[in-house]
Chains A and B, each alone.
Chain A
Amino acid sequence: MAVADRPLPGSPRLGIGSGVVVAVTLILVFFHFVLRLGLGIGAGAPDLLTVALLFHVRRVRFGTAACVGFTLGMLEDAFALVAFGANTVAMTVVGILGVQTRAFFVPTTSLSFHLIYFVTGKWLRDFIHWILQQAAGVTSGFIEPMILTAVPAALYAALVGVLVVKLIGPFSEGES
């Protein structure tokens, strides 16, 4: 480990290896499609794809985060007959914004930070998707999809996200 990478004395040891990050991301993506597509649980399963994206992008630069978001969004869009590309755009934007949170929030092991991070990320992803669906002509109200459905879904995803962070390890200490 380079001297610059060593945690400061007394500070919590933050961060896990990039191999572990990639492995956890792939596992979350795998289980997302197993639960939603393979077992057909649908909204009963948490949005592990967004959790994987938000978990991953805290450890990469924003160009890489955009690529990860783009790829995961394309996978999610594969079964969209209407507004194809909406998930791709939404997850790319969320990936880029997720990286930017490092500039405003110092690395932390705080539970509330993780909770807010995952809730906001998931809700924002649903919101962007909703806007693009509206633009594509799929009209629906705001309250039902974005409040009654998206908020519980965001909380559900955040609970899983926090659990993953607690199990795997906190976010990386930061910029190189």
Chain B
Amino acid sequence: MKDFLIMLPMTVVYLSFKSVLAPAIPFPDITLLITIFIAYERPSVRGVALSFALGYIEDVFNGGIIGTSSFALVGIFTAVHMLSRRIHFSTASIEALSAAGLGLVKGFLVWFVLRLSDLNVPVIPQMLLGAFVTGLFAPVILSFFMWFSGHRVPGMAKGGER
């Protein structure tokens, strides 16, 4: 519940900020990073619901097709949760690469749902830029989440936490 109360308003404020400045600057994908953080650090049914809610808010905020981002974020939550037993975000470079890779996965999942909805959309090269920026800022933002949640800084060394 605490996650909902913190993350949802944070997302709304961030998306407002992004919507005003967006055309000029590529921003890191905050909903994706929150999902990665929750899926890795606190996997639970509430976490899945949070990622769904984040996607829903993102879709409503962007005026997009409701369900596309929700589907992508829930899918990413599941993937991160399942992979978290094998992959540990122990260094900043792993966090950055994973976030960038998952940024691309999110783009393709959204594209997949749009294609299912009979929308003939192309794969756009800006996806790469978005994923790159998200990866670039991921270590800092994830560390912030850790700090904010009362965990140790830096890193998301799961092994050391549990």
A and B assemble together: no
